């Protein structure tokens, strides 16, 4: 199998879905020009506001169509976080589009961010923890989908590895605050290291968000990183490097505990 060139797009979405769509499509164009085969865009790539509201999902269909068209036009796969309307509420969904523009998979965020004074659950419906892990094939690489707050739950990534993931694609709008950038880096590097997997992190910059997107290698090494400004990161994922790491550090084979979804809480 060949190596994989990836692009990680960092930008600050607003509550204007047309502007966010234009930015996302432009990043896909730039990524394709750099030879990327996979483009990862952030969580809330469609729209973001300091306080969630259902109207932020109004442009979802047009956003998804525009990115599907961009995938076809530039022959790239795309993973992007959007907001899908569900009645009067929303679902925080990461969608994977193939180079043919078709949806290859979709992951609804399981762990909603009800922390640090934020309550996503006021507007969002969580994904079912019993849903199958979402792992899609991109040019022979197995790419597992997760979103933002999931980084604090290592069992999420164990399940993805058990489903065959070699690369984690994580979209985020990681909240800003004291120590938050350090926490983001530690968590992202740990999830890569403990699973001997690559991890791609597309994290929004802008007011109230931390930025600091990254591409991380299977021993937790930082391959590329952004600060808190808009940026497009390019990284090459090496099949030989992944295989060597998993042979030299066979921690996945040494595991003695399995991971399974928790039973539903009592009613």
Q: List, for residues 143-195, the tens digit of each pLDDT value.
A: 999 999 999 999 999 999 999 999 999 999 999 999 999 999 999 999 999 99
Mean pLDDT for the stretch of residues 78-85? 98
Give the integer Cα–Cα distance in Å for 98 and 227: 29
Q: Which of 84, 109, 120, 166 is catalytic?
A: 109
Q: Which two tokens stand for residue 11?
A: 């930008």
> Over the chain, what is the mean pLDDT?
96
Mean pLDDT for the stretch of residues 247-253? 97
Give the integer Cα–Cα distance in Å for 264 and 267: 9
Give the integer Cα–Cα distance in Å for 151 and 32: 28
Q: Has 43 been annotated as catalytic?
A: yes
Q: Which of 84, 148, 166, 231 is catalytic?
A: 148
Domains and CATH numbers, the chain: 4-248 (3.60.110.10)
- Contact (Cβ atoms closer than 8 angstroms) between residue 29 and residue 74: yes
Q: Which of 2, 6, 81 is nearest to 41 (CA)?
A: 81
Whole-prediction pTM value?
0.96
Per-residue confidence (pLDDT) for residue 267, from 0 to 100 = 66
Q: Has 148 been annotated as catalytic?
A: yes
Mean pLDDT for the stretch of residues 35-57? 96
Per-residue confidence (pLDDT) for residue 116, from 0 to 100 = 87
DSSP 107: E
Q: List, for residues 200-233, the tens digit of each pLDDT value.
A: 999 999 999 999 999 999 999 999 999 999 999 9
């Amino acid at each position: 199998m060949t190596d994989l060139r990836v692009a990680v797009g960092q930008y600050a979405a607003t509550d204007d879905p047309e502007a966010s769509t234009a930015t996302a499509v432009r990043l896909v164009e730039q990524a394709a020009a750099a030879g990327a085969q996979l483009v990862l865009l952030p969580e809330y790539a469609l729209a973001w506001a300091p306080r969630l509201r259902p109207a932020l999902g109004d442009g979802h269909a047009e956003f998804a169509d525009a990115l599907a068209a961009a995938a076809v036009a530039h022959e790239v796969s795309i993973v992007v976080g959007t907001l899908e309307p569900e009645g009067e509420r929303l679902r925080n969904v990461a969608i994977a589009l193939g180079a043919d523009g078709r949806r290859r998979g979709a992951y609804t965020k399981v762990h909603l961010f009800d922390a640090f004074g934020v309550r996503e659950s006021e507007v969002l419906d969580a994904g079912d923890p019993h849903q199958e892990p979402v792992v899609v094939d991109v040019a022979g690489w197995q790419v597992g989908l997760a979103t933002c707050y999931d980084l604090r739950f290592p069992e999420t990534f164990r399940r993805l590895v058990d489903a065959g993931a070699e690369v984690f694609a994580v979209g985020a709008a990681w909240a800003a605050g004291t120590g938050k950038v350090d926490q983001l880096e530690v968590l992202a590097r740990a999830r890569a290291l403990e699973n001997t997997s690559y991890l791609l992190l597309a994290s929004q910059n802008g007011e109230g968000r931390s930025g600091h997107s990254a591409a991380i290698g299977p021993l937790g090494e930082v391959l590329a990183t952004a600060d808190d400004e808009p940026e497009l990161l390019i990284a090459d994922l090496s099949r030989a490097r992944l295989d060597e790491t998993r042979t030299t550090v066979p921690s996945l084979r040494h595991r003695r505990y399995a991971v399974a979804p928790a039973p539903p809480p009592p009613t």
